[in-house]
Amino acid sequence: MSKRIYLDNAATTQVYPEVLEEMLPYFSEIYSNPSSVYTFASEAEKAVDKARGAVAELLNAKKEEIYFTGGGSESDNWALKAAADAYASKGRHIITTVIEHHAILHTCEYLAKNGYEVTYVGVDENGSVRLDELKAAIRPDTILISVMAANNEIGTIQPIEEIGRIAHEHDILFHTDAVQAFGHIPLDVEKMQIDMLSASGHKINGPKGIGAMYIRKGVKILSFIHGGAQERKRRAGTLNVPGIVGFGKAAELAKESMLSRSAKETELRNHLIDRVLNEIPYSRLNGDRTNRLPNNANFCFRFIEGESMLIKLDMLGICASSGSACTSGSLDPSHVLLAIGLPHEIAHGSLRISLSENNTIEEMDFVVDELKKIIEQLRSMSPLYEDFVKKQDGEHEQIF
């Protein structure tokens, strides 16, 4: 197999060496439990405190508004379930969108089975939330609006600031799942009027199994994981000190490099998008052309199926992902691609490329060159392509 080209950074990222180095002492040297009394504990406590500060800084939040969790999914579950619980006396209506991550959608389904009502707001053809629909969905008993900051599949960045304003005009709590956006694009909980925010360590070159939740001071949600008094009594469990330290370091690096990194990624991404759309017939870009995460490109190639494309890419050492049913274990293709209005057979032929600052233009060129061959080969064996070509020939005969 040739050299690996990793283009699945929306799934997870490499732990940067600086991050790992920062974490290592907290496994077997400074292994103390930060909640303990002795001096040895305070070393770990200090490291946790520093990391909390780094995460807070990326959000323009206060240190004491950051709570460490086991990851993005836990943060999403906590935000929704605990807010539903805490505000049930005010109402039982929640607004979210059709393109959320399953950590939100499946939590909403759970709440719907337990006496809550959920309205799923639609998106336009670029995957941007329809604000008029969102406003129309608001009712006197609406207690929470949860809209992701940027979509994990098609990369579209949502109008979070406007949604925050709308939510607060109606005195409704606003949560955003920022797992894909955190550390990649600027986020400001004050300016965007965010009450709760979910973030994850491993999407920003930090370790897996560590996440955070921002909870605005004054928001009255309670504990989700019950037990000890850690995290200001809101999230029990001995702190994952190495994970927290790594997350903090990754957040620090992400803040420093955000401008240059997103410029580099945007350049690579645009080069890839331009070449694919110009050189591969019957291809389309999913999501907004410009208002998208710097590292995300998502395409559909007609007449072919995503998994077979992924296997062929994998044999060349290229790691990417697809929203095809075959890669999700269900019969339906990506709910996001269906939500932006694509028919099933086109949604099955999707390819998500999520690159990093460490990729190169040469790698993008290699991917496009190989992709062209793979798609041609798969189309040559596709009955859908055969029918399409025959139909076209038929139309030509009729015209001439």
Partner 1 sequence: MYSEKVMDHFNNPRNVGEIENPSGVGTVGNAKCGDIMRMYLDIDENGVILDCKFKTFGCGAAVATSSMATELVKGKTIQQALEVTNKAVMEALDGLPPVKVHCSLLAEEAIHAALWDYAEKNHIQIEGLEKPVSDISEKEEEEEY
Residues lying near partner 1 in the complex (CB under 8 A) are found at: 303-305, 307-308, 311, 315, 324-326, 329, 331, 333, 343-345, 348, 380-386
User: ∠377-380-382 over CA atoms, to 5°?
Assistant: 110
For residue 272, the minimal CB distance to partner 1 (Å) is 24
- Tokens standing for residue 122: 């639609």
Residue with tokens 């807070």: 56
For residue 14, the minimal CB distance to partner 1 (Å) is 23
Q: Which of 108, 300, 319, 326 is catalytic?
A: 326
The residue (of 6 and 301) whose beta carbon lies closer to partner 1 is 301
13: left (phi over 0), alpha (psi -120 to 50) or beta: beta
The residue (of 314 and 365) whose beta carbon lies closer to partner 1 is 314
Cβ burial of 115 (10 Å; 0-12, 13-18, 19+) is exposed
The residue (of 168 and 372) whose beta carbon lies closer to partner 1 is 372
The residue (of 227 and 394) whose beta carbon lies closer to partner 1 is 394
User: Which residue intervals of 87-221 are DSSP H helices?
Assistant: 102-113, 131-137, 160-169
In degrees and rounded to multiples of 5, residue 356 shows phi and psi of -140, 170
The residue (of 176 and 286) whose beta carbon lies closer to partner 1 is 286
Measured distance CA(173)–CA(167) in Å, rounded: 6
User: Which residue intervals of the chain are DSSP H helices?
Assistant: 17-23, 25-28, 39-59, 72-86, 102-113, 131-137, 160-169, 230-233, 241-279, 306-315, 325-328, 335-339, 344-347, 361-380, 383-399
For residue 384, the minimal CB distance to partner 1 (Å) is 5
- Tokens standing for residue 275: 């070449």
For residue 348, the minimal CB distance to partner 1 (Å) is 4
For residue 305, the minimal CB distance to partner 1 (Å) is 5
The residue (of 281 and 343) whose beta carbon lies closer to partner 1 is 343
Handedness of CA 189, 191, 194, 200 (dihedral sign): negative
For residue 306, the minimal CB distance to partner 1 (Å) is 8
Closest CA to 68 of 184, 200, 192: 200
Q: Are 215 and 75 in contact (CB under 8 A)?
A: no
> How many residues does the structure list for the chain?
400
The residue (of 11 and 326) whose beta carbon lies closer to partner 1 is 326
CA dist 397 → 70, 96, 282 (Å):
62, 50, 22
Q: Which amino acid is at 124?
A: D
For residue 383, the minimal CB distance to partner 1 (Å) is 4
User: ∠116-121-127 over CA atoms, to 5°?
Assistant: 140
Task: Mark whether 300 is an active-site residue.
Answer: no
Which residues does the annotation mark as catalytic? 326
